[in-house]
Amino acid sequence: METTPLSQQQSPSAVLKVARLLAQVRSALFITGAGISADSGLPTYRGIGGLYDSGATEEGLPIEVLLSGQVFARRPDLTWKYLAEIERACRGAVPNRGHEVLALLERRIPRCVVLTQNVDGFHRRAGSKELIEIHGNLHELTCTACAWRERVADYGALTIPPACPACRSMVRPDVVLFGEMLPEPALDRLEKELDLGFDLVVTIGTTSVFPYIAAPVSLARARGVPTVEINPGESEVSDLVDLRIRAGARDALDAIWAALESGASS
């Protein structure tokens, strides 16, 4: 995915302002969407990957239907077919500099949390530990009947659809399918973090169409907390934030980190 270089935009001053904020804060929330993983070569289909922008599938059904909890309950083979297709599109890709910078910021800022919609697991692989994977992780497999679960690097060795090795029941990735509720542990963690509050909220590479993704920005604005958006396009929160960097996540975060490390943010 190509984005306009920072040098060709009105973004360098915003980069310095964000770096100065990061140099001062003791807590920060980073909200990430598909845009940060697009720089790893993943397509961006509204958060899972660019494969179905036309809406067409072999079955003639919208991808949101095939990747729904309702279809999984009736025809898990169909849902697994497209889950495996998404995983193949991600296979071989690795975290990029944007993911790395967020992991580095976690070591620099006393309380630093990443709230991600992405299911690719890249933040964890890059080293982020204070992580809320609100939509789950494609590589975490769990049995629908017993307590068996396992993390897999990829689906290459799986029979699709896979059966639980312990009880032979259906296995599924620990992700939120369309029409399903968000996981309670992740929601509870997010609520507790928002109750504590943050000194800075940064949204990165997301259209913020889900209310629970836009809400932290709205809440921060209401509390007078600085907010930043890193996104080459428009989003639901573009008119709410204090600072905007109209660039790709990787380039913007790398530039912000360079400014921090050079002392330009002092």
Q: What is the pLDDT of residues 193-217, one digit of tens each?
A: 999 999 999 999 999 999 999 999 9
Which pLDDT does position 64 carry in this prediction? Answer: 87
Q: Is there a domain that residue 231 lies in?
A: yes
> 80 with 199, same domain?
no
Beta strands in the chain (DSSP E): 27-32, 111-116, 131-133, 136-143, 149-151, 171-175, 201-204, 227-230, 243-245
CA nearest neighbour of 122 among 196, 224, 188, 40: 40
Percent of the chain with pLDDT over 70: 89
pLDDT at 47: 38
User: Are 65 and 107 members of one domain?
Assistant: no
Evaluate if residue 9 carries a pLDDT over 50. no
**Residue 141 is encoded by which pair of tokens?**
């497999």
**148 and 23 both lie in a single domain:** no
Q: Residue 46 pLDDT more than 60?
A: no
Average pLDDT, the chain: 90
> Are residue 38 and residue 101 in the same domain, yes or no?
yes
Domain containing residue 59: 48-91+142-175
Same domain flag for 248 and 148: no
128 Cβ contact list (under 8 Å, min separation 6) = 99, 102, 103, 106, 114
Q: What is the pTM of this model?
A: 0.90
Q: Read off the tokens for 130.
A: 């204070």
Counting every residue written for the chain, the total comes to 266
Q: What's the average model confidence in pLDDT over 162-184?
A: 95
Into how many domains does the chain fold? 2
Q: What pLDDT sits at residue 89?
A: 81
What was the pLDDT predicted at 3? Answer: 44
Same domain, 107 and 226: yes
The pLDDT of residue 10 is 47
Report if residue 1 sits inside a domain.
no
Closest CA to 90 of 55, 54, 56, 44: 44
* Residues 229 and 245: beta-carbon distance below 8 Å: yes
Catalytic residue ranges: 135
**pLDDT top residue among 52 and 21:** 21
